Structure 1
Amino acid sequence: MEVILLERIEKLGQMGDVVNVKPGFARNFLLPQKKALRASKDNLAFFEVQRAQLEAVNLKRRDEAQAVADKMAGLAVLMVRQAGESGQLYGSVSGKDVADAVKAAGYTVERRQVNLDNPIKTLGSYAVRVSLHPEVSVIVTVNVARSQEEAERAAAAAAAQAAAESDAADEVEAETEVGEVADEPAQD
């Protein structure tokens, strides 16, 4: 079924594109959510008349999403889960769990906005993308640990490792500068 997109839809197209989708996807999602119109001459003419208004609404939504993304930048959420000795979780952390944790942090996020390719099944820290708008997304750090104390220890260890890597990079850079000065010929 051919439809005219009324907004940008990830992996489908931009606003105004005429795309061919499966009939069920159009009937059950795109049309009821007012994200598309059936492709016909009348609807295409209607879309062209409404294009400026739709673009203004889309721009407003994108700006609102960008403001929320700026506030959410660097957000880290803790998920306390039971796990075995090897770090395997008893169960998993899904997109719904991440959305609930972000909601608990004070942001409005739905499960479908959390882009998690596979459920998280081991302890550790993960970067999860949250799409606030088709054109705006933010990375949220999800720390999965057995307890609050373990999460704090892991965060401290990660910070220490990052500092050590930073110091090592500074030392290499300093050695490179010293080596460049030594290689220059002496001026008589």
Structure 2
Amino acid sequence: MDVILLERIAKLGQMGETVKVRDGYARNYLLPTGRALRANAANKARFEAERAVLEARNLERRNEAQKIADTLDGKSFIVVRSAGETGQLYGSVATRDIVEILGDEGFKISRNQVVLNHPIKTVGLHKVEIQLHAEVYVTVELNVARTAEEAERQLHGEDLTSADAIYGVDEDALRPEDFFNPDADYDLDDEDEAEEAEASGEEEGEEEDKNA
């Protein structure tokens, strides 16, 4: 479908341009949200007659978006979710969740404004882009962790999925001899001790036979 853009749309064109888009995209998003008109003679004439008003309205929206951007850009939000020891979430953080998270902090954002290609499925610090206006983008940080305490540790640079965090060891300091020491006195269970005693007895018997 050919449409006339009533504002700048990323990757499509500038205000006033006639572009071709998928029918579904036009009917479900561009037309009902007032971002475009069907491209025909009547609408072209209408756009030219209202261009000044549309440009003024677009400028006003951009200024409003910029005010929000000045407050929102770079903010970090803690998101507590259940996850396994390796950091894999039991679920995910999707677009609708991000809208709710920002909404709880007083930022009214629609799902169409969240630029998220794939849901977040691991703990960690995740950057998410928000399109407040066709010409105004901001980036927020989602601090996804199992608890608020872990989120605080993560914010200070700790990797919650490292061996140190999971098992309480410093994986960078481990050496091969830390895994097995042939000279160490390992605590054997009863069965192992019995087998060791039996083997020792057999060796002593063989030594006595040789000396006889």
State the TM-score, normalized to the length of structure 1: 0.79
Please report how far the alpha carbon of residue 91 of structure 1 lies from its aligned counterpart in structure 2 after TM superposition: 0.7
Please report how far the alpha carbon of residue 114 of structure 1 lies from its aligned counterpart in structure 2 after TM superposition: 1.0
Aligned-partner SS, 1:157: coil
* Aligned mates of 1:27, 1:99 — CA distance in 2: 23
Which is greater in Rg? 2
85-94 vs 15-24, which moves further:
15-24
Deviation per CA, 1:104-145: give whole Å up to 9, x if none. Answer: 111111222111111111110011001111110111010000
Report the equivalent of 2:104. 104
Report the equivalent of 1:154. 154
* Aligned mates of 1:109, 1:42 — CA distance in 2: 33
Q: List aligned pairs for 1:136-155, cutoff 5 A.
A: 136-155=136-155
- What percent identity do the matched residue pairs reach? 54
Report the equivalent of 1:183. none
* Aligned mates of 1:98, 1:29 — CA distance in 2: 20
Deviation per CA, 1:82-109: give whole Å up to 9, x if none. Answer: 1111111111111111111111111111
Report the equivalent of 1:56. 56
Report the equivalent of 2:78. 78
* Aligned mates of 1:124, 1:150 — CA distance in 2: 10
Unmatched tracts of structure 1, length 5 or more: 159-188
Q: 1:144 to 1:112 in 2, by over 3 A?
A: same
Query: What CA RMSD, in Å, does the superposition of the two structures yield over aligned residues?
Result: 1.3
Please report how far the alpha carbon of residue 79 of structure 1 lies from its aligned counterpart in structure 2 after TM superposition: 0.6
Please report how far the alpha carbon of residue 60 of structure 1 lies from its aligned counterpart in structure 2 after TM superposition: 0.4
Please report how far the alpha carbon of residue 44 of structure 1 lies from its aligned counterpart in structure 2 after TM superposition: 1.1
Report the equivalent of 1:121. 121
Aligned-partner SS, 2:47: helix
* Aligned mates of 2:157, 2:5 — CA distance in 1: 48
Report the equivalent of 1:24. 24
Aligned-partner SS, 2:74: coil
Deviation per CA, 1:136-188: give whole Å up to 9, x if none. Answer: 01110100000000011111236xxxxxxxxxxxxxxxxxxxxxxxxxxxxxx
* Aligned mates of 1:71, 1:90 — CA distance in 2: 32
Deviation >6 Å, runs of 4+: none
Deviation per CA, 1:4-27: give whole Å up to 9, x if none. Answer: 111112222211110112223323
Report the equivalent of 2:90. 90
2-11 vs 21-30, which moves further:
21-30
Report the equivalent of 1:37. 37
| 1:38 alignment partner AA | R
State the TM-score, normalized to the length of structure 2: 0.71
Aligned-partner SS, 1:149: helix
